[in-house]
Amino acid sequence: MSDERLVPGQRIEIYTLENRIDSGGMGVVWKATKPDQSLVAIKFPNLQHAQDTRFQELVRREAAAQLNLRHPNIVPAEDVLEYNGLPAIVFTYIDGPNLEQEIYGANKILDQGKPLALPRALHIAAQVLDALDYAHQNCYVHRDVKSSNILLNRNTDDAFLTDFGIVLNVAVQRVTRAGTISGSVPYMSPEQITNPMSVNLRTDVYSFGVVLYEMITGTLPFRVEAGETTDPDFLIKEKHLKSEPVPPSQINSAIPVELDRIVMQALEKTPDRRFLGCAQFLRSLSAVEIVEKPKPRVMWNASLQPTPVPLPAPVPSRRRWRLPPLGQFSDRLPWLLFGAAGILLFLLGILYFLRKG
């Protein structure tokens, strides 16, 4: 059965399909409802690879890892369905964007995202590092840590790690071809590129260093620049192996020097120079102080004078003088009459004295 045969409204066991959320390399993710109307996300394996024994091994490993790992910041697997001989994993539905969508919005092609506010970036980082540390303690190396594999609950802003599609169980001998599977190029550690059989948990430290870089700068540490025409994957792999990333504070001046140092340590080329593991990475991040820059005090000087607001243009008047309005004139009339009578009396008095004299 091909993926196109999954349609909205279709019943699969107790689940009713709603709509397709995403289709990636490993399969297709559908939103679905349970009989109690609660939501789930079902990840169906890509049946085009159903006969490939390596692919079969990967989907079985993913299902086993997701069922084994129970952590508040790992998307919980609720059920595993048998779908054309392969497992389809039923996850609790996380209502919100993945971290890649949150950083880049619709702009992913331009590779110019918007950095998250630092306290929020550190909050998300703490949750994902704790989830990774838990997976490592249980002998799982994720190997595909990237922003689209971190889901955000839009109501609580809690972060959830998902997609253990190429997880490596280091407790099991690496005798299979699946041991050589690599992650996504922009997040790949140097050892994933040169010697994938050798990777250990520090590969996740490196890849999460790339995610942290993205969260605080809004861009990737290694990317194709304008004018670079070589094969993009080859170019980015070369940069992982040979180039130093631009320190994040040169892109976002709000980044304190300790955070710069932490990101650069996670992105060290040699695994031994990185953090020992995600717990140590998390401890270093917890010590970072985000000091809100004080708002600049406004000092009075000539250059800060308010911009004059232009007055409305005067309405040209044809008359320079006007009669007072009728109300004003009539108010003054009694006083005018009283004054005139006084002057008249004064003049009559003078006339009387002149005649007498």
Ligand X SMILES: Nc1ncnc2c1ncn2[C@@H]1O[C@H](COP(=O)(O)OP(=O)(O)OP(=O)(O)O)[C@@H](O)[C@H]1O
What is the DSSP secondary-structure string of 303-352?
GGSPPPPPPPPPPP-S-S--PPPHHHHHHHHHHHHHHHHHHHHHHHHHHH
Rg (CA), the chain: 38
Packing angle of the helix pair 278-286, 118-137 (nearest 10 deg): 150
Least Å distance, CB 43 to ligand X, is: 5
62 belongs to the binding site for Mg ion (CB under 5 A): no
Q: Which residue, 146 or 274, has its beta carbon nearer to ligand X?
A: 146
Tokens of residue 178, six digits: 């699946």
192 belongs to the binding site for ligand X (CB under 6 A): no
Residue whose CB is nearest to Mg ion in the complex, by number: 163
131 belongs to the binding site for ligand X (CB under 6 A): no
Q: Which residue, 136 or 143, has its beta carbon nearer to ligand X?
A: 143
Single residue of 148, 203, 207, 219 touching ligand X by CB under 6 A: 148
26 interface partner picked from Mg ion, ligand X, none, CB below 5 to 8 A per type: ligand X
Single residue of 66, 73, 127, 162 touching ligand X by CB under 6 A: 162
Name residues contacting Mg ion, limited to 111-150 (CB under 5 A).
149
- Parallel, antiparallel, or unpaired: how do β-strands 140-141 and 15-23 relate? unpaired
41 interface partner picked from ligand X, Mg ion, none, CB below 5 to 8 A per type: ligand X
Nearest CA to 66 out of 153, 135, 145 is that of 135
- Cα separation of 88 and 5, whole Å? 15
Single residue of 163, 191, 204, 214 touching ligand X by CB under 6 A: 163
Q: Which of 144, 157, 233, 272 is catalytic?
A: 144
Q: Which residue, 183 or 196, has its beta carbon nearer to Mg ion?
A: 183
Tokens of residue 51, six digits: 């006969």
What is the maximum span of the chain, computed from C-alpha positions, in angstroms?
A: 148
186 belongs to the binding site for ligand X (CB under 6 A): no
Packing angle of the helix pair 202-217, 257-266 (nearest 10 deg): 140
211 belongs to the binding site for ligand X (CB under 6 A): no
Residue whose CB is nearest to ligand X in the complex, by number: 24
Among the listed ranges 19-27, 201-209, 279-287, 343-351, the one in contact with ligand X (CB under 6 A) is 19-27
What is the DSSP secondary-structure string of 58-99?
HHHHHHHHHHH---TTBPPEEEEEEETTEEEEEEEPP-S-BH
203 belongs to the binding site for ligand X (CB under 6 A): no
Least Å distance, CB 192 to ligand X, is: 15
Place of tokens 């399969």: 27
85 belongs to the binding site for ligand X (CB under 6 A): no
Tell me, yes or no, if 144 is annotated catalytic: yes
Name the E strands within 93-139.
none
Site track for ligand X across 29-48, x = CB under 6 A: x-----------x-x-----
207 belongs to the binding site for ligand X (CB under 6 A): no
Active site residues: 144
